[in-house]
């Protein structure tokens, strides 16, 4: 082949003259906002979820009869773990963990009742040992669950969420009135009046407030209630002076973890319920942000929830789920950047590293915590009922499934000693309203809606394969 003429080397090329291509705009989820705006929006997410997050250790600590300083440790550990999981959900860890959406994680009420039961029967080391193994279980089943989410439709999740709220109302009442009906100050009128005033205040803020103010109603109620409780002599902040200004929670505060089989099974069931909650929230955020989730995305998000069980067990904290309050905030503000959630996670870790703050929160009076808890637990119940509204009842056996699930789930709530004559392992599993309701709803849904058994000619109910709407944690 002949050589090219010398002038060919001097000829300009089209590529050299073409203007540089504009860099593709990042998806709104991946957009990095200015630092000042990132900080303010991240703080807003923390304010919205803070009350729900710290109420879990407050309620559990009071029910497990832990000291104020120990509850303070639980609060700090709770905030640190929530912050770490939020960072993982927002930023991701390779192809292993994190949904990479503006998800804010926090402690869920789902685990409170089983934890209280395990603490009473086996002690605190068993609570956190069973939580750690439930976290390992969560990591192992995250992908299979993401593929089999149709077995946990609104029929199952709505029934369970309703029982979660109902089963915790008694705990809130105990904080308001006390747990010893023979005590002199049991259900003292002043305590009832304080709780009633806080509830009225929360209702008023929700009715007459606007925007972010309504989402801070419970937090504002806690602050106002505590101020009112000071002249009533209901506050004791003496433990705050002994707490340090900075320090991370230690590991295994209650000693080496223990792993009773019944406790582990109960907490593994709780993990499946948490997965159901988080699935609904993550799918909702994916839809809001215009980034639909693949099975792999969902599995990585659920795996982060599983990791929260391992971290929570080691650090004396709690298992986390995606917070529905923050899902609502994403929809309200229309800010889709996952880096906002990452900043919220960093703030949570920082707050968790301030022991004095945990001590202050742990010192809040029982009637104040109980009033806020009553509103929050009743709200969880209402969310469960609202979820059940999406279920088709006509021409199906779904009403029977809900009825039996609620009935079985509430048995240990209204009659705590009903299973006292049965083996202890059975008491731990069936004695948890959440565990028993979950197992019952799952089994009945499988029997009626997925297996072709029963009356001739019957087809499985047209039960939606979609997960339940976002549920409150």
Residue reference for tokens 């199906």: 396
Predicted pLDDT at 7:
44
Assigned token pair, 37: 């705006």
Of these ranges, 284-288, 318-322, 364-368, the one predicted with the greatest mean pLDDT is: 318-322
Assigned token pair, 8: 């060919």
Averaged pLDDT, 208-222 = 77
Measured over the CA atoms of residue 449, residue 452, residue 456 and residue 459, the dihedral's sign is positive
Contacts of 450 (CB under 8 A, 6+ apart): 151, 460
Averaged pLDDT, 273-289 = 83
pLDDT tens string 376-409: 788 778 878 888 998 999 888 999 999 999 999 9
Averaged pLDDT, 88-93 = 92
| Three-class secondary structure of residue 155 per DSSP | helix
pLDDT tens string 34-81: 888 888 878 878 877 787 788 889 889 988 889 888 888 898 999 999
pLDDT tens string 348-359: 998 888 888 777
Assigned token pair, 42: 């991240």
Measured over the CA atoms of residue 368, residue 371, residue 377 and residue 379, the dihedral's sign is negative
Averaged pLDDT, 352-367 = 80
- Cα(300)–Cα(103) distance, rounded to whole angstroms? 13
- Asked whether the beta carbons of 432 and 117 are under 8 A apart, the reply is yes
- Cα(363)–Cα(361) distance, rounded to whole angstroms? 5
Q: Is the pLDDT of residue 136 over 90?
A: yes
Q: Is the pLDDT of residue 2 over 50?
A: no
Report which of 8, 83, 74 is spatially closest to residue 358, judged by C-alpha positions: 74
- Asked whether the beta carbons of 466 and 154 are under 8 A apart, the reply is yes
Predicted pLDDT at 452:
63
Q: Is the pLDDT of residue 8 over 80?
A: no
Averaged pLDDT, 216-243 = 79
Report which of 162, 203, 198, 178 is spatially closest to residue 389, judged by C-alpha positions: 162
- Cα(66)–Cα(127) distance, rounded to whole angstroms? 13
- Cα(60)–Cα(78) distance, rounded to whole angstroms? 12
- Cα(269)–Cα(80) distance, rounded to whole angstroms? 24
- Asked whether the beta carbons of 108 and 134 are under 8 A apart, the reply is no
Predicted pLDDT at 1:
44
Q: Is the pLDDT of residue 428 over 60?
A: yes
pLDDT bin (cut points 50, 70, 90) of residue 453 is low
Assigned token pair, 256: 């080496």
- Asked whether the beta carbons of 134 and 311 are under 8 A apart, the reply is no
Assigned token pair, 100: 């990479």
Report which of 318, 337, 378 is spatially closest to residue 100, judged by C-alpha positions: 337
Supply φ then ψ for residue 107, to 5 degrees: -65, 140
Q: Is the pLDDT of residue 11 over 80?
A: no
How high is the mean pLDDT of the chain? 83
Q: Is the pLDDT of residue 218 over 80?
A: no
In 3-147, which ranges are continuous DSSP H helix?
14-17, 35-63, 68-91, 112-122, 124-147
pLDDT bin (cut points 50, 70, 90) of residue 14 is very low
Predicted pLDDT at 172:
81
Q: In Å, how far are 103, 295, 300, 444 from 147, measured between CA atoms?
A: 21, 7, 12, 20
Predicted pLDDT at 149:
81
Q: In sequence order, what DSSP letters do the residues of 309-336 get, joined into one string?
A: HHHHHHHT---EEE-HHHHHHHHHH---
Q: Where are the domains of the chain?
A: 28-449
List b or e across 136-149, with b for residues whose CB sees 16 or more CB atoms inside 10 angstroms.
Answer: bbbbebbbebbeeb
Q: Is the pLDDT of residue 23 over 60?
A: no
- Of 79-83, 147-151, 307-311, 458-462, the poorest mean pLDDT is in 458-462
């Amino acid at each position: 082949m002949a050589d090219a003429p010398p002038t060919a080397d001097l000829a300009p090329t089209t590529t050299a003259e073409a203007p540089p291509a504009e860099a593709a705009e990042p998806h709104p989820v991946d957009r990095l906002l200015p630092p000042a705006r990132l900080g303010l929006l991240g703080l807003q997410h923390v304010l919205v979820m803070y009350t729900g997050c710290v109420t879990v250790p407050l309620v559990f600590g009071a029910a497990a009869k832990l000291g104020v300083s120990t509850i303070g440790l639980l609060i700090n550990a709770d905030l640190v773990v929530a912050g770490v999981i939020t960072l993982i959900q927002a930023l991701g860890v390779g192809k292993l963990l994190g949904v990479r959406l503006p998800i804010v994680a926090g402690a869920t009420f789902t685990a409170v009742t089983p934890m209280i039961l395990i603490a009473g029967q086996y002690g605190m080391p068993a609570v956190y040992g069973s939580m750690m193994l439930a976290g390992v279980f969560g990591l192992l089943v995250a992908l299979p669950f993401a593929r089999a989410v149709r077995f946990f439709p609104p029929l199952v999740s709505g029934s369970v969420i309703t029982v979660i709220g109902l089963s915790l109302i008694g705990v809130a009442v105990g904080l308001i009135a006390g747990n010893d009906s023979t005590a002199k100050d049991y259900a003292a009128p002043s305590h009832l009046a304080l709780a009633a005033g806080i509830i009225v205040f929360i209702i008023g803020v929700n009715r007459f407030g606007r925007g972010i103010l309504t989402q801070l109603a419970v937090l504002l109620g806690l602050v106002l209630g505590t101020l009112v409780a000071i002249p009533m002599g209901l506050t004791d902040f003496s433990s705050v002076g002994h707490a340090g200004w900075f320090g991370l929670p230690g590991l295994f505060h209650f000693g080496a973890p223990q792993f009773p089989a019944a406790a582990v099974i109960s907490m593994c069931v709780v993990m499946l319920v948490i997965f159901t909650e988080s699935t609904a929230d993550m799918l909702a955020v994916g839809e809001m942000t215009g980034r639909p989730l693949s099975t792999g995305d969902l599995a990585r998000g659920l795996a982060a929830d599983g990791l929260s069980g391992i971290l929570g067990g080691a650090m004396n904290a709690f298992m986390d789920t995606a917070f529905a309050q923050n899902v609502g905030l994403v929809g309200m503000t229309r800010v889709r950047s996952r880096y906002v959630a990452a900043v919220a996670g960093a703030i949570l870790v920082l707050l968790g590293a301030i022991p004095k703050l945990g001590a202050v929160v742990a010192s809040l009076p029982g009637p104040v915590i109980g009033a806020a808890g009553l509103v929050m637990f009743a709200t969880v119940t209402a969310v469960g009922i609202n979820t059940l509204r999406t279920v088709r009842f006509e021409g199906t056996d779904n009403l029977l499934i809900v009825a039996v699930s609620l009935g079985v789930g509430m048995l240990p709530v209204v009659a705590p000693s009903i299973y006292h004559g049965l083996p202890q392992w059975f008491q731990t599993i069936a004695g948890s309203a959440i565990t028993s309701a979950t197992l019952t709803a799952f089994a009945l849904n499988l029997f009626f809606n997925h297996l072709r058994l029963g009356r001739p000619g019957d087809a499985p109910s047209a039960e939606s394969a979609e997960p339940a709407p976002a549920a409150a944690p």
